Structure 1
Amino acid sequence: MMAAPALRRLLLLTLAIALCAAEPPQQERSVLQAFLAGTPHERVLGWNASTPVCSWVGVTCDAANVTVVALRLPGVGLIGRVPQGTVGRLRGLRVLSLRSNRLFGAIPTDLFSLPELRSLFLQGNLFSGAIPPDVAKLTALEHLALSNNNLSGTIPFAFNSLTGLRSLRLDGNLFSGSLPSISLKDLAIFNVSYNQLNGSIPSSLSHFSPESFAGNPRLCGKPLDRPCEPFFASPAPSPGHQNGGGRGGSLPVSEKKKKLSGAAVAAIAVGAGAAALLALVLLVLCTAASRRRAANGEVRKVPTTSRGLTPPSTASGDLGDLTSSSKEIGAASAAAAAAERSRLVFVGKGAGYSFDLEDLLRASAEVLGKGSVGTSYKAVLEEGVTVVVKRLKEVEAARREFAAHLEALGKVEHRNLLPVRGYYFSKDEKLLVFDYVTTGSLSAMLHGNRGSGRTPMDWDARMRAALSAARGVAHLHTAHSLVHGNVKSSNLLLRPDPDAAALSDYCLHQLFAALTARPNVGGYRAPELVDTRRPTFKSDVYSLGVLFLELLTGKSPASASLDGDGAVDLARWVQSVVREEWTAEVFDVELVQLGESMEEEMVALLQVAMACVATVPDARPDTADVVKMIEEICSGHGRTTTEESEGRGASEEERSRGTPAAGVTP
């Protein structure tokens, strides 16, 4: 009987010795050593190979000492980039704290593949770049702190996938754009203060304190004491809406009718008399002008080529031919003017849409971006259709010139050009309507998510993007004799079909004054362009060349400097490197990390790009030749694009036909 307790004690002692001797696998020890070796640090951490991993400073293992579950190294003087393939390989990691160091670069991509991670604390560093949508993979995450870094881009909607998230701190960064509607039932701490956010605060976040949104002057709505305004002003209400009738809604209480004094009534009567006199004078002038036109054999018709929808209050029906009768002319002129002021005009295949101006004004909108010609908004209509509305600024073109130009652009159809679907013109507002493309731009793919979780853009995708851009510009030049004038990576919208990337914002420079039309700022502008000169075919070729260099180098031409002193743009920098025969130094390091073995193609595209950015315009090739050269690069290595493989036997018109514009968002 005495042997049983002794045996039990012996077993417990053996188990305790085994637990003390337990050690995480060699892979985790190697991963931690690689992390420390690849990250300079000011404090000596004492991670000796002769001591157990679980006893190292900042390392915590599970109860059985078989895996690392926490790595806490706050304020230990870590400097530089977190090496890829190190911390992200600690598959059992639940807590990672690297706060208050001097780590920079993008957030390591492999951190977003840790299935057990519950707390990620990276605040107080110098991390830059965007938060990728792959943050949604951290399904176990409860606490995320990224405050006081240099992170930029938009705040991803993917946070909604983190259903267990309890705290989210993004304050003190450079985030821009609008706030996504984040709705998480357990989210108790939320802070996006001191960023560059704009637009309205979603109702799902309005219960947080005003301090959570402070330092964003362009944010509006509750809980801030800053009401939101419509994303563009409504046109003046038509007579049928001025008393609150129709679909326009009621006026605020402060603007409702009040009793008028005698003096006010007298002033109104005088004003009405003056207005009636002015209308009579205008009627006489219109009658005289019409009789002169009739005498010269001219007959005026109301244009019917564009599909325009008008509010119910305006006159409807076909006005038909106008006669010389003053009464008919006056009534028709008034009706036509009212309809013109409030009409949303669809062009090209935009007739597939079935909404009007009032539907557009009621749509929920968020800012997509601000460019040199205006601000773009994503507008979601009540029936679920999503379009992009570009609000133009500083337009100099008159109504007739504006309409004629947009009618011409509506006829441009090509798979590599984003078609214009409609426009609105009034004294105070000039709007363009486009299809909404969900995939995003080349600029966002190359720079916004660099090294921060999403797979880098491989060489094949870059070549197809280059070919798509070249084909789009070539179609404008050869088929329509139009100059794009604004070729850049943020205007090349990617699609699921890699050969169907589409250029947007083309040929808009004609709507602006020469002095204010500044195409291709930020490194894309050809050197011969000055403020008073319009873009040309050759300046488009230069911009294409810069875009090719952007694909090759991974560098943004919009950067203030590529060498630290702000003096060298991308084209000049590449020319200087190639001149010194350091060609390999030009190529994007991400392509090297992907293990791409397309050096011959890269060099060939580099040669095309260098020809395109030649200083002398006449030395640059035509866009049709640029397309041929890129196609030869692709076919020379046994690779064909969709257009080449599926387009054999089809006419050029069939191959270049754009996407149809039904009411469904592409």
Structure 2
Amino acid sequence: MLSPAAMKVLLLLLVLLVTATSADLDSQRAALLALRSSVGGRTLFWNATNQTPCNWAGVQCDRDRVVELHLPAVALSGQIPTGIFSNLTHLRTLSLRFNALTGSLPSDLSSCVDLRNLYLQRNLLSGEIPEFLFNLPELVRLNMGFNNFSGSISNSFNNFTRLKTLFLENNQLSGSIPVLDRLSLDQFNVSNNLLNGSVPQNLRTFSQDSFLGNSLCGKPLSLCPGETGTDSSSPFTASPGNKSNKKNKLSGGAIAGIVIGSIAALLLLVFLLIFLCRNKSSKKTSAVDVAAVKQHPESEVVSHDKSISDLENGNGYPTAAAAAAAVAVNKVEANGNGNAAAGGGAKKLVFFGKAERAFDLEDLLRASAEVLGKGTFGTAYKAVLESGPVVAVKRLKDVTITEKEFREKIEAVGAVDHQSLVPLRAYYFSRDEKLLVYDYMSMGSLSALLHGNKGAGRTPLNWEMRSGIALGAARGIEYLHSQGPNVSHGNIKSSNILLTKSYDARVSDFGLSQLVGPSSTPNRVAGYRAPEVTDPRKVSQKADVYSFGVLLLELLTGKAPTHALLNEEGVDLPRWVQSVVREEWTSEVFDLELLRYQNVEEEMVQLLQLAVDCAAQYPDKRPSMSDVVRSIEELRRSSLKEEQDQIQHDNNDIEL
């Protein structure tokens, strides 16, 4: 048992420790408030009456010490004063990216000797890269891209022996790139500066994109004067004086054999081409008369100017059937006068309330057709009727319910009327064929627009278009959810978001998951499916929200869910985005076409956060679609106001 004197000493030590901790926390709190008062920030609504800053947005603590400060895209502006970071010496991560900070870095940043991650990209910081920065030996990731830093790249970067990421692109840096032979970098970029000279040997493993926009030479760029295209150190390169080269020369007989073999291969290729051309000429052209398919009812009409991958991706309409109506022709005409023997009654197109009855089943069967794509519920066709209208027809597959159930469910779908939904105009039901007729959307699907043509003729999707598409799709899904607590879409994906000529979004394929069996849900839909969904016919509204979150991520990143793989198999899009954002590489997430728009970074980050919230692992953590619509409306208003303010500012400058 401790003596009274020892107890007093122990108590005194505890009091001193608590006092020191309290004083340390108070100084950190004061430093953060001083930072806020110096550089502002529209979202820094920190509660100054709260004694601990550890509960403030963007602040993370470990044992009452501020170890992470995340303030991305919160409209910080002006210069960071000296004296802030000398009271935040335990920082391990500092993120001030996507703001409007100016001037040079404060010298007391060198006090943060535990700093591992420093993200300053996309500000207006200037001056030379300060030498005191190289007194931070623990740095692992440093991003200073898209600022106005000038001067040379110091050889002192070699001090960062733990550095894995170094981004210095889009600045005003000049001179040559030093030999950074003490670094083992995974990521490196100095593009779009004023650099010259040759690329150091140890950096030549990085791609051209890391060096473009400078006056540099050497691999991976063009060779420097005096360099040769071969590596003299290669074991496969013989020296000029090596006599063994003579032995490697081909004999005349070998050369003759190569020539004869080449001629034989060429003749074989010519015969093969002739055979293929004859086969091709016997096939149908891209647009055919649907009725002509009667002779081969099991064939499908495929446009020759589209690849199989185009058809699978849905370049035009979600999924379904019109030329497939050709298959129904045999069965319909076999029973006389357009009547099919399903249930014993006459079968015809059934139109919904507002739909104009401009054609009948016979007109549809005579229409020329073109496959648009194969989807979850069947195959979709563009049908051009002789009377002029163009419609999209979906041929359903794997319908497992009775005719009575089908009619009840499809009539409920046809009764849905909203400007952000693709209206169902008519349907046809027989024992063997189930056809749905929709308005044709000439601009195709969001999937085709994002992942289709990447060439010179491509229309880039800017921020206004993408955020508008997101809002339109969200409104359509919100309307479906408003029809009742058990009403959901069940198959939200980018190929089911169709676009008008003005790029307004229309949601399609709603209500169809109740018509088909579980076998109609291929693996390619899995990237959008919420983790709790086991039966694709039973999808909750919260599961719809998850799918919409994946759709937003696809819209922002330009990546299809099944293509967003890192270095391991099976990494889905939400997990990939979260892993990148967690490492503060947010600019790496966005589609390159979006990074052109410098004035909407904050809105982009906000929409990204909304997408991550929607794709939360657990349903109760996801917002409702009404909340999603309100959030997108708000950030679009914010974006529009900033644009108007910028226009007014520019006009004022012109007047002055």
TM-score (norm 2): 0.49
More RCO (CA 8 Å, sep 6+):
1
TM-score, with length taken from structure 1: 0.48
